[in-house]
Amino acid sequence: MGDGRSRLDLQTDRAHGARIYDYILGGKDNYSADRAAAEATLQVWPALPVHMRANREFMHRAGRYLATECGIDQFLDIGTGIPTSPNLHEVVQEVRPDARIVYTDNDPIVLVHARALMSSTEQGRTAYVDADLRDPDTVLNSPEFRETLGPNRPIALLLIAIVHFIEDDEEALTATRRIIDVLPAGSYVAATIATADFAPEALAEVRRTYREHGETLRFRTKAQAARFFDGLELTEPGLVQMHKWRPDEHTEPADDTDIAMYAAVARKP
């Protein structure tokens, strides 16, 4: 991306969820506002690193499951975040070298590093779209989406730790449904959705801390989270805390109170 940093407004004066996530995971693509928000959040909820690692682990497990057991070789990852290896394409192309992946994010620093997301096996392909989930038509009408993913074969839509940045329920549901509606039958949706069900007092403080640092955060109950999968067929074990979704030998043990997201993978009939 060359001198992209000089051309883009990186909005370093306010915290951004992707950069907070990057800082907690030990990355270097964050700024003082992001670090301040992360450290303040750790004061009120020390489990934040466990929670964020569990989110990353779910993405890896879901990606492998979709590529291996569901036969999916096309992926649309909205809310990609700052590249942290292994990224989705590395996970799925390990088992499906021909897999094609379109990444999407609205953080300008992710755009700066998008080249790391566009590496690929020779047989497969990756692309990046600079877009916001709130504007799904920008994603769907982009040449990157249209030229990378075939419209007549199943696509896996990943919404990993993204819908909690849209506070209004109907706006979040409408945006995600717009994308799901254009996916062909046999497609899948994998999502993690923030909740305060298991540690309400601590997570109320997390939400307050995020707001103080300029970032939105919306927790949803299990019933509210389930609405994102309306009309879809949940795979086993259904909608559960993300560390309980098909754990494997790489899944870090965690107390329920340390995990603030539901997760599920569902098939579009």
Each residue's pLDDT tens digit, 216-242: 899 999 999 999 999 999 999 999 999
- pLDDT for res 9: 59
The phi and psi torsions of 220 (rounded to 5 degrees) equal -130, 145
- pLDDT reading at 82 higher than 50: yes
Q: Mean pLDDT lowest for which of 52-66, 74-88, 162-176, 232-246?
A: 74-88
Domain residue ranges of the chain, discontinuous segments joined by +: 7-267
Domain 7-267, classified CATH 3.40.50.2300, yes or no: no
pLDDT score recorded for residue 112: 79
What pLDDT is attached to residue 3?
A: 39
- The mean pLDDT value for 92-106 works out to 96
- What is the reported pLDDT for 10? 63
Kindly list the distances between the CA atom of residue 132 and the CA atoms of 82, 91, 100, 240, 250, in Å, as whole numbers in the listed order. Answer: 15, 24, 20, 27, 31
Mean pLDDT lowest among 3-7, 39-43, 155-159, 207-211: 3-7
pLDDT average, residue stretch 66-76: 98
Q: Is 264 helix (H, G, I), strand (E, B) or coil?
A: strand
- Please name which of 131, 98, 99, 97 lies closest in space to residue 114, comparing C-alpha atoms: 131
Cα separation, 257 vs 245, whole angstroms: 16
Residue 214 in this model has a pLDDT that exceeds 70? yes
Q: Report the pLDDT value the prediction gives residue 28, as an integer from 0 to 100.
A: 86
Q: Which pLDDT value is given to residue 110?
A: 83
Residue 7 has pLDDT above 70, yes or no: no
Please compute the mean of the pLDDT values over residues 13-31 and round it to a whole number. 86
